[in-house]
Chains A and B, each alone.
Chain A
Amino acid sequence: NAGVTQTPKFRILKIGQSMTLQCTQDMNHNYMYWYRQDPGMGLKLIYYSVGAGITDKGEVPNGYNVSRSTTEDFPLRLELAAPSQTSVYFCASILRQGRSDTQYFGPGTRLTVL
């Protein structure tokens, strides 16, 4: 299994541009998440999904959109990029099964908005 993969690894955007961050997992996990991590800070939840066709907002959803058309893919869309969206973005997934579920993280996408 490749686990959770994210593309691209790095990206520089100009203010007002749009882009999609890709996330794919091959573990048949039902729950998927998008987080952002600002320098020296913890993780903030942007959006999450409990299964294909179902998404919900997290702590900081403004300026982002998501979709979940398949179990494997959970892309994050940035519309009208702003400097405040400069961050490292992590995708994660969980198989909801029992109490000792573990969250698996992708390697991250480092985004800079200039």
Chain B
Amino acid sequence: GDSVTQMEGPVTLSEEAFLTINCTYTATGYPSLFWYVQYPGEGLQLLLKATKADDKGSNKGFEATYRKETTSFHLEKGSVQVSDSAVYFCALRASGGSYIPTFGRGTSLIVHP
């Protein structure tokens, strides 16, 4: 079945550091890929998405590129801020069939001043 694997956290960085959170997936066909962010005490909200190979999703300084050849969708940001501290979830939705997204376990990011 479909699966999403994320790097384990917590990831702890100093403000203005470079961020990478790895995400790889297993799915048949051409899934849509998503990154969601969950701030403390809140629900998940979409951060960015990509629907086909080589697409780059971007939002709020975050980027992720859909790499079909490596089945990856790594999240990056050039300079993190304290306000980026949150849990980040990688997810996929398989092409065709059900609309049941598959989520990774989440990666906690802690940014220190």
Contacts and interface: CB of A to CB of B under 8 A. Distances in A.
A31 interface: yes
A15 to B, nearest CB: 26
Contact of A102 (B46, B89, B106): B46
Interface stretch (B11-19, B20-28, B73-81, B97-105): B97-105
Interface residues of B, number: 22
A90 interface: yes
Interface size range of chain A in the complex? 20 to 34
Q: Pick the 10 closest A-B CB pairs, nearest first.
A: A105-B43, A42-B105, A105-B44, A99-B51, A102-B46, A43-B103, A107-B43, A100-B51, A42-B106, A31-B99
Interface of B: 32, 34, 36, 42-46, 49, 51-52, 89, 91, 93, 95, 99-101, 103-106
